[in-house]
Amino acid sequence: MTAFKGELNLGAELDLCHSAAQFPLGTLARGSNGNLYRYVKFEDAVAYVLGHFVNIGAGETTWNVTNDISAAMAGYVGVGLVFQAVVPTQNQYGWVQVAGIGTFLAGSAAIIAGDWLKNDGTTDGALDEATAGTDEDIVAQALATVADAATGLCLLRIRGV
């Protein structure tokens, strides 16, 4: 396997998920649309869907991600959005979107355009309204008004990217 340094540009290959790693975990790639993606391993048995937000555990040393709120709410850090048309399954390797305009799943309440977003505490993979200056785990800003349990556009604001 070739070791990459910095960013690489993979274009359409970003949509693919595999059962074996194709790149080092944590690799960053810039898509042809200008969005930024990170290579991860999808863990846990909760089904992933388009727009799910994933996290890693505090203290993790690898890029193993989950959308499972039962694990993700206590000390977990936001990583990015599932964006593939054919979504990943448990233990597959693939890319999550970490910067740019993406599609997110709204949680248990409607989101208004301009709202700051954080992990939803009741719906796996969903985002919920956050309060700037109060919530430390803001990961995106809504670009459209979105009904609860629906998808809409956001601008990702992941720290450390």
- What are the pLDDT digits (tens) for 137-158? 889 999 999 999 999 999 998 8
- What are the pLDDT digits (tens) for 15-64? 899 999 999 999 999 888 889 999 999 987 779 999 999 998 777 888 99
| Residue of 109 and 3 predicted with greater confidence | 109
**pLDDT at residue 73, rounded to an integer:** 58
**pLDDT at residue 7, rounded to an integer:** 56
Of 37, 39, 1, nearest to 18 by C-alpha is 39
Which amino acid, 52?
Answer: H
**How far is Cα 95 from Cα 27, in angstroms, rounded to an integer?**
9
What average pLDDT does the structure give for the chain?
A: 86
Say whether 52 sits in a helix, a strand or coil. coil
User: Band of the pLDDT at 101, cuts 50, 70, 90?
Assistant: very high
Of 111, 7, 10, 96, nearest to 53 by C-alpha is 96
**pLDDT at residue 122, rounded to an integer:** 84
- What are the pLDDT digits (tens) for 65-92? 999 887 655 677 889 999 998 999 999 9
CATH code reported for the domain at 18-157: 2.40.300
Percent of the chain with pLDDT over 90: 58
Q: 98: how many CB neighbours lie within 10 A of its CB?
A: 22
Per-residue pLDDT at 1 exceeds 50: no
* Domain residue spans of the chain: 18-157
pTM value?
Answer: 0.88
Per-residue pLDDT at 105 exceeds 90: yes
**pLDDT at residue 3, rounded to an integer:** 38
**pLDDT at residue 4, rounded to an integer:** 39
Of 103, 105, 101, nearest to 147 by C-alpha is 105
Give residues with Cβ within 8 angstroms of 153, minimum separation 6: 101, 102, 103, 104, 142, 143, 144
